[in-house]
Chain A
């Protein structure tokens, strides 16, 4: 890391996120003057243009890659057209201890006086919530599912290599040609397409205006500076900003700036989930790197410095603030820009290259919250690349996460994508599979599967509130067999999923009609060709995902019911329900029995894994193939991000012996501390899930640093990954635990029984060591993580 990067990193790392009302004010001004004069797509494009013309332009000292969404780094704009924060919301954001955002009094006043009066009753959130049926609202408030589109726009977007071959001027030409070819005589949608294409053309113009304004600023800064080296840099920045994104890039530096302007455009236009990602950045950059290093105009050091600049830019862009349920489901500064490294080329050959290694070095040295790199491992990926990733993993940043390219391709082929598009696809957000640059793959919300079991046990009522939130599927005390219970659970599951989809499909049309994204549509194939918006089925592929949470908790709970109520008859349903209602108060013996004497998911034990498979199949049947409004379908996805914490809060005590309101199992991982046979058993259990039928699964594994210390340990880690992937696994990430985790493990040994620790010549479970030695391991871990 050179001194420039050190300074930029420090600024990015240390600046506290704050909110700026600038975007909200500009947008309000614009809407007050223009609403009603244009079609909605054109209105949205003109609004984007207005923002590009008037927003504050920032070029920081030392910067080589330029552009900020807000007026300065870590300053986050708001999107009142989607969710209009109240004054109280803004104060909460300013005051809350976790993921707070500073909000200046002047901005709060601007909101109170200008923004709120205009947007009240007009925001998407209010319009959606005013239309949802009571049944949906009751289920939503009980925490049976979340709704992604109440505060952010549908998103989840990753790019392919198109922007490195075509600039905005090229897109404009294609848009004009397409518009000229519209068939008004035979195509009843021709005028809609005209408006949409017109909007896309305006969006291209807006992006060019935005970069030109950076060029102007860079030139004036160059004229003022007394530092000749910086002057030269600023003039080069100005030259590049006059070229991209209007035209395709020709140098490595131009390519990075091209991407960055496009990234900023999409996240300025709207506030889509998971921001934006370049996708396979290494594959996109390699041709520029090769050309320039051969010509001698670029060396590795400079390439790395520029890549660091992009990395820091991403980190400057804190996720926009969420409130209410959404803040609980994913309250984080991370906006989930996931950069894919390695993987496959479209011809099926290995995609890893010099930039892949360079990016790993950058991620390691900067170790920032964002972006989060992932490595994509296929059968043809060299071991050297996986090991290079392993060397970063063991530092304990929680990344890179590791994906199975072959599975990611198969998942996409299963749903009808071409092999080439599937290979150019990858994962974005946390683990979600998509065809980069060609697909709208929309996350619609998390599904609280253990909660569905809970209401099944209470005949459709939420035991925490007594409210009816689901179907009346019969009294649990009257189920004569596990089969009857399961049938009721399945009926309840189908009901809840259908309820969610009905409303999602309504919301989907709301976005298509009232909040199109013309700039994003320019970038995603085949929106220009179809003349349709990204939110209206314009892309080549359109997928809706429902993300299922708590497979570990629900499996273990069903296994406990099966083992203790139906098979062993050690406890009656009535007694068990009573104990759950009282959160096991006075029933510790029963709780311990449930927790310790039930076959749990994650131990390669067919008694539990068979139930997991059954639940997974039921989820698949309930979700996969259900129609969305774009002529395509829903698929299931198995992840929870941080929603397992919120869902856990909304869930009473569960039959697996979990106390009320504690987090449920995360992603597709086993319940916390319930995998007691080591990582190979976890992987075997997980591989019994037919993951190819999902749009991604998420497996978290925890290791102590000592278990990953030597080269041989690294080999074993790589073998774990390769074996999991050969068994059909989609994703795994390794969290190297820190001393805080170990201290928690001392206090709550039950939740941490899986922590393997290396001592001389052998390994043992951390919680099985006596206190003195636990202390010793803690102090050693502190040293190892440095």
Chain B
């Protein structure tokens, strides 16, 4: 039964930015937050989606003829999809010769996913890397996540979970028992502004971070830095104070905002709110780093 299977949108091998060394990142689909700067918009919605990559279309119209719901049409230059009619049968994805129809999201069994992960086990063993579960929000599919974590644990694969931290604490703790390292996003210290920018408050998130820390779980903080959103000295100060009070923080990854995901938003027919105005200057990056370091934190810059 489909709904008993976890939903993913990608598995990326040789992922360079999702934890230590050479890793495979499994991206769960679906997230309770709505951060406008999200660079993986494919992970926002929890259901399957299907999109058109117009540049690839060769105009053969096979999909138009093959669509059982007559949801596709050709206007002489491009294909368009009537989302009301589309039943997500993915027939178009199947028949399109040029990969112009792309399914965003798919379902797979735990063993299929584990099979994909273990393909790169020789690289994990050699480098000290492993698997990272990211998203979307992996904790939103906690049962499946747990099964994957346990299977990977049995296979001696190092496990990271990349999370917004927005989940019920008992669930998080259960996941933590099978996780070697958390990549924990921290977006804003102010509850109101957090809600404004991400759609949810930060109380649960901050609480979870404290609990993880008390339990001695290894955590790396991921701090997406955006101009005028969370780059003020006062805000960074507040974050530094909070984090330095916790134990077990390995370091803080400073993620500098970029607007490269815009094309993906447009492809997904989601409002594209990316804007270069949110890009921070090198001086701000430097100041942020120094402010955090002043609290005894180790800061890594991801540019």
CB–CB A761/B21 < 8 A:
no
Contacts of A597 in B (CB 8 A): 97
Measured CB to CB, the nearest residue on chain B to A713 is: B16
CB–CB B58/A592 < 8 A:
yes
Interface residues of A toward B: which range? 35 or more
Partner of B60, one of A589, A681, A713: A589
CB–CB B97/A592 < 8 A:
yes
0 or 1 for each of A759-772: is its CB under 8 Å from B? (1 = yes): 11111100011100
CB–CB A769/B263 < 8 A:
yes
0 or 1 for each of A678-691: is its CB under 8 Å from B? (1 = yes): 11110110000000
B260-294 residues with Cβ-Cβ distance < 8 A to A are: 260, 262-263
CB–CB A589/B255 < 8 A:
no
CB–CB A680/B97 < 8 A:
no
A483 CB to nearest B CB, Å: 27
Is there a chain A Cβ closer than 8 Å to B12's Cβ?
A: yes
The CB with the most chain B CB atoms within 10 A, among A596, A707, A756, is that of A596
0 or 1 for each of A236-270: is its CB under 8 Å from B? (1 = yes): 00000000000000000000000000000000000
**Alpha-carbon gap, A770 to B264, bound state (A):** 9
CB–CB B60/A773 < 8 A:
no
Interface residues of B toward A: which range? 35 or more
B2 CB to nearest A CB, Å: 24
**Alpha-carbon gap, A597 to B257, bound state (A):** 36
**Alpha-carbon gap, A559 to B202, bound state (A):** 52
A702 CB to nearest B CB, Å: 13
Is there a chain A Cβ closer than 8 Å to B235's Cβ?
A: no
A339 CB to nearest B CB, Å: 27
CB–CB A760/B256 < 8 A:
yes
A6-37 residues with Cβ-Cβ distance < 8 A to B are: none
CB–CB B17/A723 < 8 A:
no
CB–CB A716/B22 < 8 A:
yes
Partner of B119, one of A589, A684, A715: A684
**Given A707-B16, A715-B21, A723-B127: A760 and B255 interface contact (C-beta under 8 Å):** yes
Is there a chain A Cβ closer than 8 Å to B190's Cβ?
A: no
Measured CB to CB, the nearest residue on chain A to B100 is: A592
CB–CB B21/A716 < 8 A:
yes
**Alpha-carbon gap, A749 to B125, bound state (A):** 34
**Alpha-carbon gap, A381 to B99, bound state (A):** 45
**Given A592-B97, A723-B123, A760-B303: A680 and B17 interface contact (C-beta under 8 Å):** no
**Alpha-carbon gap, A28 to B129, bound state (A):** 65
CB–CB B22/A680 < 8 A:
yes
The CB with the most chain A CB atoms within 10 A, among B60, B123, B302, is that of B123
Partner of B258, one of A596, A679, A683, A759: A759
Is there a chain A Cβ closer than 8 Å to B13's Cβ?
A: yes
Partner of B126, one of A722, A760, A761: A722
**Alpha-carbon gap, A768 to B62, bound state (A):** 24
CB–CB B16/A769 < 8 A:
no
CB–CB B122/A726 < 8 A:
yes
CB–CB A716/B16 < 8 A:
yes
B265 CB to nearest A CB, Å: 11
Contacts of B103 in A (CB 8 A): none
Is there a chain B Cβ closer than 8 Å to A593's Cβ?
A: yes
Partner of B39, one of A589, A758, A762, A768: A762
**Alpha-carbon gap, A726 to B121, bound state (A):** 12
CB–CB B14/A680 < 8 A:
yes
Is there a chain B Cβ closer than 8 Å to A677's Cβ?
A: yes
**Alpha-carbon gap, A749 to B253, bound state (A):** 33
Partner of A720, one of B22, B39, B98: B22
CB–CB B13/A589 < 8 A:
no
Measured CB to CB, the nearest residue on chain B to A681 is: B13
**Given A759-B260, A762-B17: A723 and B122 interface contact (C-beta under 8 Å):** yes
Contacts of B263 in A (CB 8 A): 768-770, 773
The CB with the most chain A CB atoms within 10 A, among B129, B255, B258, is that of B258
**Alpha-carbon gap, A773 to B14, bound state (A):** 22
Contacts of A719 in B (CB 8 A): 21-22, 123, 126-127, 129
B123 CB to nearest A CB, Å: 5
B224 CB to nearest A CB, Å: 8
Contacts of B258 in A (CB 8 A): 759-760
Provide the main secondary structure of the chain A interface.
helix
B168 CB to nearest A CB, Å: 27
Is there a chain B Cβ closer than 8 Å to A588's Cβ?
A: yes
B54 CB to nearest A CB, Å: 11
A119 CB to nearest B CB, Å: 55
**Alpha-carbon gap, A123 to B99, bound state (A):** 56
0 or 1 for each of B122-156: is its CB under 8 Å from A? (1 = yes): 11011101000000000000000000000000000
**Given A719-B22, A760-B255, A761-B255: A679 and B127 interface contact (C-beta under 8 Å):** no
Is there a chain A Cβ closer than 8 Å to B250's Cβ?
A: no
**Alpha-carbon gap, A604 to B122, bound state (A):** 13
Contacts of B58 in A (CB 8 A): 588-589, 592
Is there a chain A Cβ closer than 8 Å to B120's Cβ?
A: yes
CB–CB B22/A760 < 8 A:
no
Is there a chain A Cβ closer than 8 Å to B193's Cβ?
A: no
Contacts of A726 in B (CB 8 A): 122, 126
**Alpha-carbon gap, A715 to B21, bound state (A):** 8
Partner of B14, one of A593, A679, A759: A679
CB–CB A761/B127 < 8 A:
no
B267 CB to nearest A CB, Å: 9
CB–CB B39/A604 < 8 A:
no
Is there a chain A Cβ closer than 8 Å to B227's Cβ?
A: no
Contacts of B12 in A (CB 8 A): 678
Is there a chain B Cβ closer than 8 Å to A727's Cβ?
A: yes
Contacts of A683 in B (CB 8 A): 123
Is there a chain A Cβ closer than 8 Å to B211's Cβ?
A: no
Partner of A681, one of B21, B97, B99, B119: B119
Is there a chain A Cβ closer than 8 Å to B200's Cβ?
A: no
A238 CB to nearest B CB, Å: 53
CB–CB B22/A727 < 8 A:
no
CB–CB B15/A763 < 8 A:
yes
CB–CB A770/B16 < 8 A:
no
The CB with the most chain A CB atoms within 10 A, among B129, B253, B303, is that of B303
Partner of B302, one of A593, A680, A684, A760: A760
**Given A716-B22, A726-B126, A769-B263: A760 and B257 interface contact (C-beta under 8 Å):** yes
Measured CB to CB, the nearest residue on chain A to B61 is: A589
**Alpha-carbon gap, A638 to B286, bound state (A):** 50
A677-733 residues with Cβ-Cβ distance < 8 A to B are: 677-681, 683-684, 707, 713, 715-716, 719-720, 722-723, 726-727
Measured CB to CB, the nearest residue on chain B to A757 is: B260
Contacts of B15 in A (CB 8 A): 763
0 or 1 for each of A478-522: is its CB under 8 Å from B? (1 = yes): 000000000000000000000000000000000000000000000
**Given A727-B122, A773-B263: A592 and B127 interface contact (C-beta under 8 Å):** no
Measured CB to CB, the nearest residue on chain A to B62 is: A589
B272 CB to nearest A CB, Å: 11
B34-77 residues with Cβ-Cβ distance < 8 A to A are: 39-40, 55, 58, 60, 62
**Alpha-carbon gap, A761 to B14, bound state (A):** 14
A362 CB to nearest B CB, Å: 30
10 nearest A-B residue pairs (beta carbon): A719-B127, A592-B97, A770-B263, A593-B97, A678-B14, A592-B98, A723-B126, A760-B258, A761-B255, A589-B60
Besides the known contacts A681-B119, A720-B22, 16 further A-B residue pairs in the complex with CB atoms under 8 A apart? A592-B97, A593-B97, A596-B97, A597-B97, A680-B13, A681-B13, A684-B119, A715-B21, A716-B14, A723-B125, A723-B126, A727-B122, A760-B39, A764-B260, A768-B263, A769-B263
27 contacts between A and B (CB under 8 A): A589-B60, A589-B97, A590-B97, A592-B58, A592-B97, A592-B98, A681-B119, A707-B16, A715-B127, A719-B123, A719-B127, A719-B129, A723-B22, A723-B123, A726-B122, A749-B55, A758-B17, A759-B258, A760-B302, A760-B303, A761-B224, A761-B255, A762-B16, A762-B17, A762-B40, A773-B260, A773-B262
Chain B residues within CB distance 8 Å of chain A: 12-18, 21-22, 39-40, 55, 58, 60, 62, 97-99, 119-120, 122-123, 125-127, 129, 224, 253, 255-258, 260, 262-263, 302-303
